[in-house]
Structure 1
């Protein structure tokens, strides 16, 4: 690897590293539709959808969502049950993300008069918007973000510059590497690098990685990287069953436990392992999220 600059894990010629990545990205990158907009609403929707779903699958869902609710005001005025139902129908992961997105839209409309916060601190005050998402929206909508650090970025920094597997080290190095005032293109570029060239199985030469001349892993042949958490199996999971409850209640509006149960699991038996006790547990979780109410043995989809 080339000579390092002090203890920050970066090569001495940081401007050359920056230029190489930006030019690589601008020459060719995946053309997702949310990369063609600076609308913070459209970008937030894409970021929330992408949290548990592969990007290629997000495209159709994102387009359908914006067709149904084109603006933040449209989403704020929507029935929450309809938003959650959309999330379930499109298999977009945890339904509470739909609830939080709906609530964030209401905050923008009701608390900010429809004007979006423009920096990560302001955006992080919206419901369900954590540090990563706040940075992403600030970067891609307003070119006003900090360095984004996701799993892909960590993998790149760990391999290329020997950054230790430590969140604070990743964040400090990422921030020092990002060109000032260029968060929009930079964060897109470094995430693209991790997504197409520096995946778990790297494709350095095939993807023409622009950092090969500085990359420690490329020079050593050691492409180990921080452990990536394994996504729990979806089929038969509690998350899948919660989604089925929402889907069924979105169709029937309200059902007694023993009417709801067989529609959620074909092996539902009132006194069995997957019976009333199990179903009450699911409904209790959904009630805590404000998605379902259970009154006198009747489950109802919350629509407020």
Structure 2
């Protein structure tokens, strides 16, 4: 009997039906994304890094442009990091240190693995900036060799459908128990699609033909409570947007003193204002700590430049 799926605990045979229903639903019709059409681990890694806390509608164009510019891991590794960071900023992907880590990971694949990606989650986690979730996603979608992926969509589905308690360990155990052995690619795509299309914060069970309605506790009771998930802060006007602008300006104009850089980042920049020299110094210092920017004194002024 299922040990970690409370609602199915008395009906072990239902697990096979649940699995079949979801895969059939996904394979009949699902959203088309370019990264779902490839098993190239490099392309999958690019898509996963870009998709972290970024709307998928913004990712598609950036993903295709990135692979047009750097179609192989070797070409990415050979280019300057500053060019990769500038691309990231130009496409408003946020958190520019992801670009730095992606570039460093490409170098590791080329230098340490002869251009071949590790094929399992443990090996992939050795790459710079690749945590457990991303490693498992790449192993699943590139090599069909991962465990169950657990993101906010999956948590919401498991909590609503099968009464899995709002606990990270419980979600992990339930997700892996439900996933058919050796089918991580199709399964993880399918369950994330279910959460992203039919079981969103406002569910669309009937409209999207949710394949789990006959087993789902939320559908039966009408209680669609879901685990609390912090809302992503607005990008417009955010600190990460301003960091991106700093990188973009330095990439376009080269080294700049703070009082020259400031007005190009914010039109309301004034040296002694709320968004002035001290505010900008904090931004560039953060970028320096992340290894993206170098700071130096020239003629008594602090000058920032992108690190090469």
Q: Same fold (TM over 0.5)?
A: yes
Q: Which residue of 1 aligns with 2:83?
A: 82
1:108-132: per-residue Cα shift (whole Å, max 9, x none)?
Answer: 0011111110000110111111111
Matches within 5 A, 1:63-102: 63-102=64-103
Cα distance change of structure 1 residues 22 and 7 upon mapping to structure 2, 3 Å threshold: closer
Q: Which residue of 2 aligns with 1:150?
A: 151
**Preserved contact between residue 21 and residue 211 of structure 1 (Cα < 8 Å):** yes
Shift of 1:240: 1.1
Shift of 1:5: 4.4
Give me the whole-angstrom Cα distance separating, in 2, the residues matched to 1:7 and 1:269.
58
Give me the whole-angstrom Cα distance separating, in 2, the residues matched to 1:92 and 1:7.
37
**Preserved contact between residue 4 and residue 164 of structure 2 (Cα < 8 Å):** no
Cα distance change of structure 1 residues 57 and 233 upon mapping to structure 2, 3 Å threshold: closer
More displaced stretch, 158-167 vs 232-241: 232-241
Q: Which residue of 1 aligns with 2:171?
A: 170
Shift of 1:267: 1.6
1:233-288: per-residue Cα shift (whole Å, max 9, x none)?
Answer: 22222111111100100011101111111111112121222222111111110001
**Preserved contact between residue 7 and residue 217 of structure 2 (Cα < 8 Å):** no
Matches within 5 A, 1:111-190: 111-190=112-191
Matches within 5 A, 1:1-304: 5=2, 8-11=5-8, 12=11, 13-296=14-297, 297-303=302-308
Runs of at least 4 residues off by over 6 Å: none
More displaced stretch, 135-144 vs 264-273: 264-273
**Preserved contact between residue 4 and residue 174 of structure 2 (Cα < 8 Å):** no
Cα distance change of structure 1 residues 271 and 216 upon mapping to structure 2, 3 Å threshold: same
Give me the whole-angstrom Cα distance separating, in 1, the residues matched to 2:103 and 2:161.
39
More displaced stretch, 4-13 vs 167-176: 4-13
1:39-64: per-residue Cα shift (whole Å, max 9, x none)?
Answer: 00000001111112221221111110
Give me the whole-angstrom Cα distance separating, in 1, the residues matched to 2:241 and 2:75.
28
**Preserved contact between residue 9 and residue 173 of structure 1 (Cα < 8 Å):** no
Q: SS in structure 1 opposite 2:6?
A: coil
Q: TM-score, normalised by structure 1?
A: 0.96
Shift of 1:300: 0.8
Shift of 1:33: 1.0
Q: TM-score, normalised by structure 2?
A: 0.95
Give me the whole-angstrom Cα distance separating, in 2, the residues matched to 1:235 and 1:166.
32
Shift of 1:10: 4.9
1:77-98: per-residue Cα shift (whole Å, max 9, x none)?
Answer: 1111111111111111111111
Structure 2 unaligned blocks of 5 or more: none
- RMSD between aligned residues: 1.1
Q: SS in structure 1 opposite 2:294?
A: strand
Shift of 1:8: 3.5
